[in-house]
A and B are shown apart, each in its own frame.
Chain A
Amino acid sequence: MFKLYLKIAVRYLLKNKLYSFINIFGLAIGIASFVLIMLYVNYEKSYDKFNGSENVHRVFMDYLEGGEFVPGDANAYIVSGPTLKDEFPEIEKFVRFRRIRNMVVLNNNTPFDGMVGSLADPEYFDVFDQGLVKGDESTALSKPYSVVLSTPTAQKIFGDTNPIGQPLKIAGDDSVTFTVTGVMDNTNRNTHIKNDVLVSFSTFYTWTIFKNDWNYTWNQNEYYTYVKVAPNTNAELLNQKIMAFVPEGFEFKERHHLEPIEDIHLYSNKPYEVEVNGNGGNIKLLSIIAFITLLLSWMNYMNLSSTKSLERAKEIGIRKVVGGKKSQLTFQFLSESAMLNCLAIVLALGAVFLLLPAFNRLVGQNLGFTGNQFKGLLPYLGIMLLGASLAALYPAFVLSRFSPAKVLKGQLQTSKNGLHFRRALIITQFVATISLLICTFMANKQIHYLKNRPIGANLNQVIALKGQILDRAYDSIFYNDFDVLLEELKRNPYVAEISCSRTYPGDDFSNTNSNIGITFPNGHTDETHIWYNYGARPGYFDLMGMDFVAGGAYLPTPEKRSHNVVINEEMVRFMGIDNVNTIIGKTINFWGQDWAVKGVVKDYNHFGMKSAMVPMVIRHDRTTQNILVKLDKRATTMAGADKALDEIKNIWDKVFPVSTYKYTFLDQKFEALFNEDRKFTKAFQIFTVLAILIASLGLFGLTSYTCIQRKKEIGVRKVNGATISEILQLLNQNFIKWVGLAFVIAVPIAWFAMDKWLEGFAYKTTISWWIFALAGMAALTIALITVSWQSFKAATVNPVEALRDE
């Protein structure tokens, strides 16, 4: 019996090629998008999930901002970890990380760069559930000058020789030798705090590169601190106690605060994060889209199958007349549905495999069906099977309900209920489509707005040179050589301007100082608000194209540093001064020193377009951190830029032969700050197009159903003189009404969603009416084209066919 059903199903599918294609294709699109999105969503959700991760929390600092505590810093103090552990018995262990950025490791004077390293406490292996491939976890990080390497790093430095016990040096202070004590395999680890090299924390107290920090306790927070609490600890209660806790020697301008490590990647966006984190809101939106696309494709399937079922009325009638029971018929159509769904799933999985590389490029991840990532999908497999069976049940029931007497007389059963149901499906689909369209347009508008919003500085053709000198200390000879380098660079014809600064717009947070405590010119001291500062040489403002609203840049001095500063407009507002001109020449006080304000620079976006304007002080300093080079016009072409970069590198190598070297185009780095959002928008766009495609398929199905149903009416009207365009109008006006209704429902949904999404940006584009109009028009156009395809066919049919009395 089953074999017979299968045979009929296969023949039916082959006979109705277009219908089968649309049906299977629609389902496959839905399933494939669902799987792709969920792979991505699961990957983002899998950050910092390891054995025991539910008991691990990060300690961060809240700052008192205008009388209220706000998350101020992802770092804690060097003593935060030990102090909290002593005070709270719930805390079993802590790990501190002190980041060593741009670490350069020397193996027999061969430098290896591009690694991230940290000082880390020996409890790391336990708290983070990280084992060692080689070495002993209990001792690997206990002694000073021990290092643990990741497997790729060990491979890079030592090749195939066993790294355990090998000596290593770290650039910056090559008087000390480190010993490799362990190799950890963390390549598959999905974490917000990535490490290639771990140095035992005890090294800190004797290693000279940290000598300036040896005496700090509650005055320097540069330590990412993680605590492991006892199982079944009430984290909320502990958090309350910790927030209220004021350690000895600690001023209550700040407080400690815990957050679950599992939440950091998606939900934390504090100053001084380890890396740019993901966006939980985007992930939520994407999951919603995934479910919507899947739902749409099922609705479609139900719609198309029950529509097409009308054509099989005769088969059902005959089966019933010869004794087929309703349940048998239901089973037949159910098995047919199951076959179609299975086909779609197979097709979808094939598509996922083919599209995965392209999708990975798009979202910048390396997703696949490996181990954990696949396991994460299993719960959704249940949802998929359940949905597919429900979708299959509907047409099966509709089909088996036909009454044989009527069907065999040639009367199609076009029940009003069925039509209402299908109509509701279509309207739902269009609500989803129009909402997605509006969101896509809005997201694009926002990205466009951010891209074109004036930064307040001209980053075009500006590169930042950065490197580490490996063969000597940063002494007076170095400073002389550095000046020689600047002079040489300045003479190069490709170089228009040159200056140095500690940081620049779009650079990492960590190169900017955040401070609390400043005395205004009127003697008032603010102790509650965060403000930022960094050092730059006098030519910096000119080179960056920053405008002054009052005063000007500080002047060069023979010592190349002075107690002169330039502040931004936000700083002036922060001080409560109305007339910017009155501040010029006045003195402000911070770090226990007086500083003279020489100029007020127009507000510029230092931390990218997602952060609001912050009060900023730029100090006159002889920093050698970044050499900023404004390239000449000749370097605007691709070839010109290559030549310029070549020559600059040559000059650098001539002055500092033993060094690392890196250049960065400032405009690219600045734009990279909203790469996440751009990627998200792009993914959103693709899935919107897919959803529209699915909805159009559904509409196509319903139109053909309506045309069958109204065949006679169309014939009568045509015989009575209706033209083709009049028939088209008759058939299409309903669909226009439905799109209109869907539009009315979709607008508030989309408006609400976009309003929420825009909350994540400091600078928002307006939600304009034309976006809605455009989305509505687009949906209407798509609907009309889809519908007209069928209704035109119905309108041009010879009425004789429809009205034959037989």
Chain B
Amino acid sequence: MLLHLKNIFKWVNSGGQRVFLLKDINLEVEEGEFISIMGPSGSGKSTLLNLIGMLDGFDEGEYTFLDEPVHTLKEKHRANLYKEYIGFVFQSYHLLDDLTVKENLEMPLLYKKYKGAERKAMVADMLDRFNIVGKKDLFPAQLSGGQQQLVGIARALISSPKLILADEPTGNLNSKQGEEIMELFKQLNNEGVTIIQVTHSEKNAAYGSRIINLLDGRMI
């Protein structure tokens, strides 16, 4: 099992009242799954995704990732865990504007203490795999949305994570670009990468092997 959420609650206090963002979430994810999280705005999709990605905490429950109890881990250990196993893809790509495609891809490796030559090889490999060798010296602003998201996915994949978390990866793209990205996810999933995506689109959700529906923080 890759990860296991057990009776997860998350809330905020607002005006003396407890507002629940997530209520009693129970979820098991096996390696190699492709899961789509769906639900209306404000239902807690992104919150759940951030929680799985260890960017956000929770108030009650247990979270086990690769048999490690995340809720009891120290900050540093947890950081190492997600650094090694998790990659993020965002709706608005979040590439660094002042860095070229190549540098954007290299950036995560800088924080993982790879040697210069290794980094170069890994970046070259990734550029090659995504067919963007010709764009390696361009800045994000010089790319189309689809191309930018391609770079975003390449960046998420560069240190070979077990799990990719994608928050509406096609939300800013037109339908053709969106289809291409989904095809890419499908292909990655076939290669063994576990994917959890948040999406509004039934069509995109269909690419996955399982759909989780959220409403007001509850799984239905």
Please give the residue numbers on chain A whose beta carbons come within 8 Å of chain B beta carbons, in ascending order.
712-713, 715-717, 719-723, 726, 798-800, 803-805
A720 touches B167 (CB 8 A): no
Known contacts A717-B107, A800-B55; A723/B79 CB under 8 A: yes
Q: A713-B98, A722-B111, A723-B111 are in contact. List 19 more A-B contacts (CB 8 A).
A: A715-B94, A716-B94, A716-B96, A717-B107, A719-B88, A720-B88, A720-B107, A720-B108, A720-B111, A720-B155, A721-B79, A721-B108, A721-B111, A798-B55, A800-B56, A804-B46, A805-B91, A805-B167, A805-B171
Query: Within 8 Å CB of A799, what residues of B?
Result: 55
Query: Within 8 Å CB of B90, what residues of A?
Result: 803, 805
Nearest Cβ distance between residue B106 and chain A, in whole angstroms? 10
Docked Cα-Cα span, A712 to B83, in Å, equals 19
Query: Can you name the residue of chain B whose Cβ is closest to the Cβ of A803?
Result: B94
Please tell me which one of the listed residues B46, B94, B155, B167 contacts residue A712 in the complex, with CB atoms under 8 A apart. Answer: B94
B111 touches A805 (CB 8 A): no
Would you list 7 pairs from A and B whose C-beta atoms are within 8 A, ordered by A residue?
Answer: A715-B94, A720-B108, A720-B111, A722-B111, A726-B111, A798-B55, A803-B94
Query: Within 8 Å CB of A721, what residues of B?
Result: 79, 83, 108, 111-112
Query: Within 8 Å CB of B79, what residues of A?
Result: 721, 723
Nearest Cβ distance between residue A385 and chain B, in whole angstroms? 42
- In the complex, which of the residues A715, A720, A723, A803 has the most CB atoms of chain B within 10 Å of its own CB atom? A720
Instruction: List B92-150 residues whose CB lies under 8 Å from chain A.
Output: 92, 94-96, 98, 107-108, 111-112
Docked Cα-Cα span, A805 to B169, in Å, equals 11
B50 touches A800 (CB 8 A): yes
Query: Within 8 Å CB of B50, what residues of A?
Result: 800
- Per DSSP, chain B at the interface is loop
Query: Within 8 Å CB of A800, what residues of B?
Result: 50, 55-56
Nearest Cβ distance between residue B198 and chain A, in whole angstroms? 10
Nearest Cβ distance between residue A465 and chain B, in whole angstroms? 76
Query: Within 8 Å CB of B91, what residues of A?
Result: 805
Nearest Cβ distance between residue B97 and chain A, in whole angstroms? 8
Known contacts A720-B108, A721-B83, A726-B111; A805/B168 CB under 8 A: yes
Top 10 A-B pairs, shortest CB-CB distance: A721-B111, A720-B108, A721-B83, A805-B91, A722-B111, A716-B94, A800-B55, A800-B50, A719-B88, A805-B92
Query: Within 8 Å CB of B108, what residues of A?
Result: 720-721
Nearest Cβ distance between residue B95 and chain A, in whole angstroms? 8
Docked Cα-Cα span, A677 to B211, in Å, equals 82
Docked Cα-Cα span, A757 to B154, in Å, equals 63
Docked Cα-Cα span, A717 to B90, in Å, equals 13
Nearest Cβ distance between residue A279 and chain B, in whole angstroms? 53
Nearest Cβ distance between residue A801 and chain B, in whole angstroms? 10
Nearest Cβ distance between residue B50 and chain A, in whole angstroms? 5
Nearest Cβ distance between residue A20 and chain B, in whole angstroms? 28
Please tell me which one of the listed residues A715, A716, A720, A798 contacts residue B56 in the complex, with CB atoms under 8 A apart. Answer: A798
A719 touches B55 (CB 8 A): yes
Instruction: List B157-193 residues whose CB lies under 8 Å from chain A.
Output: 167-168, 171
Nearest Cβ distance between residue B207 and chain A, in whole angstroms? 21
Query: Within 8 Å CB of B155, what residues of A?
Result: 720
Docked Cα-Cα span, A799 to B54, in Å, equals 11
Docked Cα-Cα span, A798 to B75, in Å, equals 12
B96 touches A713 (CB 8 A): yes
Query: Can you name the residue of chain B whose Cβ is closest to the Cβ of A805?
Result: B91
- In the complex, which of the residues A713, A719, A723, A804 has the most CB atoms of chain B within 10 Å of its own CB atom? A719
Query: Can you name the residue of chain A whose Cβ is closest to the Cβ of B51?
Result: A800
Instruction: List B64-82 residues whose CB lies under 8 Å from chain A.
Output: 79
A717 touches B111 (CB 8 A): yes
Docked Cα-Cα span, A717 to B98, in Å, equals 13
Nearest Cβ distance between residue B76 and chain A, in whole angstroms? 8
Instruction: List B17-55 residues whose CB lies under 8 Å from chain A.
Output: 46, 50, 55
Query: Within 8 Å CB of A712, what residues of B?
Result: 94
Query: Can you name the residue of chain A whose Cβ is closest to the Cβ of B98?
Result: A713
Query: Within 8 Å CB of A717, what residues of B?
Result: 96, 107, 111
